[in-house]
Amino acid sequence: MTTILGIETSCDETAAAVVVDGLDIRSNVISTQVELHARYGGVVPEVASRAHLESINAVITRALDEAGVSLGELDAVAACHGPGLAGALLVGVSAGKALALVLDVPYVGVHHLEAHLHAAWLEDPSVEMPMAVLLVSGGHTMIVSMEGTGRYRILGQTVDDAAGEAYDKVARALGLGYPGGPVIDRIAKDGDPRAVAFPRPMLNEGLDFSFSGLKTAVMLEIRRNPDRPARDIAASFQAAVVETLVYKLEKAADQIGARTLVLGGGVAANSRLRARVAEVAEKSGRRALLPRHDLCTDNGAMIAAAAHFRLISDGPTSLDDGATPGLILPTIG
């Protein structure tokens, strides 16, 4: 039995979790900084680092308490070491390394996207490989063929904005606050997705994405028709994003012969995206693996889970390793 503490501080959530054997979540504590950043309309790196520093010890203590696990029972300590905000990452990495050193257990540095890729696995370890994973967050949008831990092929990715970034920017233009994804998701439920025919960017151009032009089209529409209800713009924008994401995910699954469609990252919490992926999976006789909401957005459980498998394949990470804001996802081609 391997008990791992996973720490995540790459952006604006201070999170820690205890996971046993890479699958059994004993606790998953998330302290969000959303309200701190909301007044600035986005994440302010310095504010994020300070807030992580203030809450990291309490978050780790709660994760251990809720799991009923003492420090001495930990077999390894893992922390997200990139990509992310430099100062924010450093808080989690320093806490993780310090704990590992004091407890004399392995330290494991975990790639943030590799952790998101493992979130669905936490739901169901019996899933068949390869999986076609759509990873959609505030900083990334990509389709990955996942053949196992450390066995990833990037099939397509955004050439400009990430999907979550587009949600956040459109929400700001509509005066809906930060973060935009959850608000747009909510108000779009009462809106008409056919009210405005927004473009479906790069729909027939391979598996890459582009959301910058769509975002501009929404801004122009808001300027041209200031009286159009925000819910209709939100629903029409969301329809364009979701249709594009799902179309390409299905195309990728066809290409690699995947029997499972998987979602990961913050935007995977989106209700329309989840419903559409479930629908297309059913139509093509595939499985849809949709992590529950607290495993979609940033959390410590996904870090501990990914660390479990990395520890088996690569062993511990050196304590000389630091945080790498631009860390690249290791792929096999």
Rounded to a whole number of angstroms, the minimum distance from the CB of residue 234 to ligand KG4 is 10
Rounded to a whole number of angstroms, the minimum distance from the CB of residue 69 to ligand KG4 is 25
Is residue 221 within the footprint of Zn ion (CB under 5 A)?
no
Is residue 270 within the footprint of ligand KG4 (CB under 6 A)?
yes
Out of ligand KG4, Zn ion, none, which partner does residue 181 contact, by CB within 5 to 8 A per kind? ligand KG4
The CB density around residue 40, as the number of other CB atoms within 10 Å, is 10
Give the separation between CA 96 and CA 75, rounded to whole angstroms. Answer: 13
Angle at 249 between CA 274 and CA 111, to 5 degrees: 85
Among 137, 149, 158, 210, which residue sits at the site for Zn ion (rule: CB under 5 A)?
A: 137
Q: Select from 32-40, 47-55, 153-161, 263-271 the region that touches ligand KG4 (CB under 6 A).
A: 263-271
Which of residues 76 and 171 has its CB atom nearest to ligand KG4 in the complex?
Answer: 171
Which of residues 210 and 297 has its CB atom nearest to Zn ion in the complex?
Answer: 297
Is residue 193 within the footprint of ligand KG4 (CB under 6 A)?
no
**Cβ neighbours for 22, distance < 8 A, ≥ 6 positions apart:** 2, 4, 118, 304, 305, 307, 308, 309
Is residue 6 within the footprint of ligand KG4 (CB under 6 A)?
no
Query: How many alpha carbons fall within 13 Å on the CB side of residue 32?
Result: 10
Environment class of 151 (CB within 10 Å of its CB; exposed 0-12, middle 13-18, buried 19+): middle
Rounded to a whole number of angstroms, the minimum distance from the CB of residue 227 to ligand KG4 is 25
Is residue 182 within the footprint of ligand KG4 (CB under 6 A)?
yes
Among 96, 164, 191, 291, which residue sits at the site for ligand KG4 (rule: CB under 6 A)?
A: 164
Give the separation between CA 233 and CA 170, rounded to whole angstroms. Answer: 9
Rounded to a whole number of angstroms, the minimum distance from the CB of residue 115 to Zn ion is 8
Give the separation between CA 240 and CA 211, rounded to whole angstroms. Answer: 10
Binding residues with ligand KG4: total (CB under 6 A): 19
Beta strand 260-264 pairing with 76-82: unpaired
Give the separation between CA 79 and CA 10, rounded to whole angstroms. Answer: 9
Binding residues with Zn ion: total (CB under 5 A): 2
**Packing angle between helix 230-256 and helix 163-173, nearest 10 degrees?**
170
Among 107, 298, 316, 323, which residue sits at the site for Zn ion (rule: CB under 5 A)?
A: 298
Is residue 158 within the footprint of ligand KG4 (CB under 6 A)?
no
Q: Select from 65-73, 220-228, 264-272, 307-315 the region that touches ligand KG4 (CB under 6 A).
A: 264-272
Distances (CA, A) of 155 to 58, 82, 135, 144, 206: 40, 21, 11, 6, 9
Is residue 96 within the footprint of ligand KG4 (CB under 6 A)?
no
Beta strand 141-148 pairing with 131-136: antiparallel
- Kindly list the residues in this chain that would bind Zn ion in the complex (CB under 5 A): 137, 298
Q: Tell me which residues touch ligand KG4 (CB under 6 A).
A: 11, 137-139, 164, 167-168, 179-182, 185, 265-267, 269-270, 297-298
